[in-house]
Amino acid sequence: MATTNLQIRLDNNLRNEAQGILNDMGMDVSTAVRIFLKQVVIERALPFRPSLDPFYNPANIAHLQQALQDVRAGHGIEQHALLGDDK
């Protein structure tokens, strides 16, 4: 079977983090890429469903920014006695 080389550009941090995780799994990056591509061929699709993390949607980010402003301004903060604190 003939082989070929594949070159891709990656952010160093991404490569290093992935390489560390893959090493813990007992494989190198090349093996992981081969597994990924084999699954693409078998499934004739990506082997996962790409989606955006809902946490980072614009409405949630705006809500979090507003909540942070409120906390910094002292709004919406209530003091409660701790459970078992009878003082």
- pLDDT tens-digit map of 33-63: 999 999 999 999 999 888 778 888 889 899 9
DSSP, res 48 = S
**What is the tens place of the pLDDT at every residue in 5-15?**
999 999 999 99
Task: Yes or no: say if 29 and 19 are a contact pair by the CB < 8 Å rule.
Answer: yes
Q: Which percentage of the chain shows pLDDT scores above 90?
A: 66
Confidence at 77, pLDDT banded by 50, 70, 90: confident
Q: What is the pTM of this model?
A: 0.57
Kindly list the domain boundaries of the chain, sorted by start residue.
12-72
Q: How confident is the model at residue 86 (pLDDT cuts 50, 70, 90)?
A: low
Contact criterion met (CB below 8 Å) for 33 and 6: yes
